[in-house]
Amino acid sequence: MRVLFVSQYFYPESFKGNDVAFDLVQKGHDVTVLTGKPNYPKGDFYDGYSFFSSDSEVINGVNVIRVPLFPRKNGNGFYLALNYFSFVFFSFLYFLFKLRNEYDVIFVQQLSPVFSALPGVWMKKRYNIPLVVWVLDLWPESIQAASNIKSKFVISWITKIVERIYRASDHILISSKNFENSIKDKCPPDKKISYFPNWAEDVFIQKIDNNPNDIKLPSGFNVVFAGNIGEAQDFENVLKAAKLTKDQGINWVLVGDGRKVDWIKKKIISENLSNVYLLGRYPLDKMPLFFKKADVLLVSLKDEPIFGLTVPAKIQAYMASGCIVLAMLNGEAAELIEEAECGFAVSAGDYYALSKKAIYLNSLSENQRKEMKKSALNYYSSNFEKRRLLKELEELLKSYNN
């Protein structure tokens, strides 16, 4: 089977699509990835890459075509728009002059921006190649929640592009079951839609050495957040919860980077939040060490309709690591945590309830915590195991290989 994989992001950038491409090659399939020059998340090109660097390479048997684009820099609106639209523009040139009818199926990893799926649609229309789209970010809902874009004209224009992508797709995969209603509103009623969730990276499954000198956390009960420290994660209310637990021996440890870091630094000083720690960004392979040292892992999202439909990928990583999860969010993600019996989820924005659950978790016995950790692992194995999911995806793609 010859697969054209379309994604603005690919290795060495860290996204689930890397696993898909590498797995298909290991199973004997021919995979070509159409992607951009890597610059996420730092905003500058990775070492060895530039706007004018080579547009082709082979990584672990995957043929990679890298179109030029402008790096996202500090991620502000201007640079982000330039990054998004330059990928689409240069992909269109490659579509016109370089890509040929050499594929049995097209697979699109549809993250933000939604426009990055358009090369797959063009190839589908031009050569009538089956198109499968994996929706990991719901538009226009995501951009409405994460930006100041209020223009009805702009939202209507984006919605029309989304509708075009969905209509062109032969099969739509959704990473959250709650995406389904939004997608059904934008495509024909007979469109094939299937649930295909995220999984944890291999680094969270493998056994790690217990070296106490690798990672050090403050003494006390540590609630650890790992990932993007941005607007969506509602650190306003996380810090309010931290303030309520300051005298309870509970630390709130933030591992990562993002737009909200400077604001948090100022808040730590102004509110005298001596139990909040900003440790900075670490590579992915260090995350299991933090997870192992943490007493509880935190996930939070703002009280926005789109976030109630979203399941953050970190939840699978937390479960796969056999960790207790404390969440402040709504929707499917909260339901997963409660169903797995691996922690607690309080409503988005409810910092008082979040503080109370942190205090309660601190009061549990070691045996009670062990049971919750065991539940996390069991639920992950039953619902998000990578090999099973990738096998299901391979079979689906093969079904379109005429």
User: Does residue 224 sit in the same domain as residue 363?
Assistant: yes
CA dihedral 49, 52, 58, 59 (to 10 degrees): 20
Q: In this predicted model, which residue has the larger pLDDT, 54 or 76?
A: 54
Burial bucket for residue 236 (CB in 10 Å: 0-12, 13-18, 19+): middle
Res 211: pLDDT:
57
What integer best gives the mean pLDDT of the chain?
92
Residue type, 293: K
Which helix (DSSP H) or strand (DSSP E) does residue 194 occupy?
Answer: strand 192-195
Share of the chain above pLDDT 90, in %: 80
Co-location of 291 and 179 in the same domain = no
Do residues 74 and 137 share a domain? yes
357 Cβ neighbours under 8 A, 6+ residues apart = 326, 344, 346
Place of tokens 């021919």: 30
> Which structural domain, as residue segments, surrounds residue 299?
202-383
pLDDT at 305: 86
CATH code for position 117: 3.40.50.2000
- Is the confidence at residue 308, as pLDDT, over 70? yes
pLDDT tens-digit readout, 105-122: 999 999 989 999 999 999
* 367, 392: one domain: no
How far is Cα 159 from Cα 140, in angstroms, rounded to an integer? 6
Other Cβ atoms closer than 10 A to 195: 11
Total structural domains in the chain? 2
For residue 87, what pLDDT is reported?
96
Give the pLDDT confidence score for residue 208 in this predicted structure: 67
pLDDT band at 210 (very low <50, low <70, confident <90, very high): low
Query: Which structure tokens are listed for 227?
Result: 């990932």
At residue 212, the 3 state secondary structure works out as coil
* Residue 25 and residue 146 in one domain: yes
For the cut 60, the answer to whether the pLDDT of residue 212 exceeds it is no
Q: Do both 262 and 150 map to the same domain? A: no
pTM over 0.85: yes
Q: Is the domain of 157 the same as that of 132?
A: yes
Helix, strand or coil, per DSSP, at residue 135:
strand
| Range with lowest mean pLDDT among 185-189, 195-199, 307-311 | 307-311
Q: Give DSSP secondary structure letters for 291-311.
A: HHH-SEEEEE--S-HHHHT--
**pLDDT tens-digit profile of 237-271?**
999 999 999 999 999 999 998 889 999 999 999 99
Joined tokens for residue 81: 């728009």
Tell me, yes or no, whether 238 and 310 share the same domain.
Answer: yes
Place of tokens 């060495």: 12
pLDDT in tens, 135-173: 999 998 887 776 767 778 888 999 999 999 999 999 999
Find out whether the peptide bond into 71 is cis, omega within 30 degrees of 0: no
Same domain, 90 and 160: yes
Question: Quick one: 109 and 42 in the same domain?
Answer: yes
Low-confidence winner among 5-14, 198-207, 246-255, 263-272 (lowest mean pLDDT): 198-207
Domain co-membership, 219 together with 359:
yes
Residues 195 and 339 in one domain: no
CA distance 304 to 320: 27
